[in-house]
């Protein structure tokens, strides 16, 4: 089991990431321990589908470049999550069902351009 994955953001983009991860996806923000909070960034609880909850950590990176190929993948109710993302004005790109038979999935980007994948639970 994976406890958490981390993506990066530029300094000062934490509120944009909160607006996406909490505002659009509904993932609760988790408090960071004080010594780590001083570095910036934010953490979110990723609700588990058929398993335990995990965490997504967003860390500040000085020379930030969004991850356009590498990405975390989250097991969710893809129809609900895709609808929430599209309602926020963002786009989703559905994957070809022949790529991974039996797995409905799509990709999108977070508030700072990091690629994310969502798979049906």
What's the pLDDT tens digit per position in 17-42? Answer: 999 999 999 999 999 999 999 999 99
- Report the alpha-carbon distance of residue 77 to residue 86 in Å, rounded: 14
- Report the alpha-carbon distance of residue 8 to residue 79 in Å, rounded: 26
Three-state SS at 10:
coil
pLDDT score at 49:
65
Low-confidence ranges of the chain (pLDDT < 70): 49-52
pLDDT score at 121:
77
- Report the alpha-carbon distance of residue 35 to residue 88 in Å, rounded: 33
Half-sphere exposure of 53 (CA within 13 A, CB side): 11
pLDDT score at 77:
93
pLDDT score at 91:
97
In order of 19, 22, 62, the CA distances from 65 in angstroms are 20, 22, 9
Handedness of CA 7, 105, 20, 64 (dihedral sign): positive
pLDDT score at 82:
98
- Report the alpha-carbon distance of residue 97 to residue 111 in Å, rounded: 26
Nearest to 58 by CA among 38, 43, 71: 43
């Amino acid at each position: 089991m994976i406890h958490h994955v981390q993506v990066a953001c530029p300094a000062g983009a934490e509120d944009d990431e909160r607006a996406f991860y909490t505002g659009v996806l509904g993932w609760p923000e988790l408090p960071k321990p004080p010594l780590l909070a001083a570095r910036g960034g934010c953490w979110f609880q990723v609700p588990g589908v058929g398993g335990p909850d995990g965490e997504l950590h967003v860390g500040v990176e000085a020379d930030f470049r969004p991850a356009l190929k590498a990405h975390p993948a989250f097991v969710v109710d893809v129809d609900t999550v895709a609808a929430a993302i599209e309602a926020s004005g963002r786009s989703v790109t559905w994957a070809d069902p022949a790529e991974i038979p039996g797995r409905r999935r799509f990709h999108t980007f977070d508030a700072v351009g990091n690629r994310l994948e969502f798979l049906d639970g």
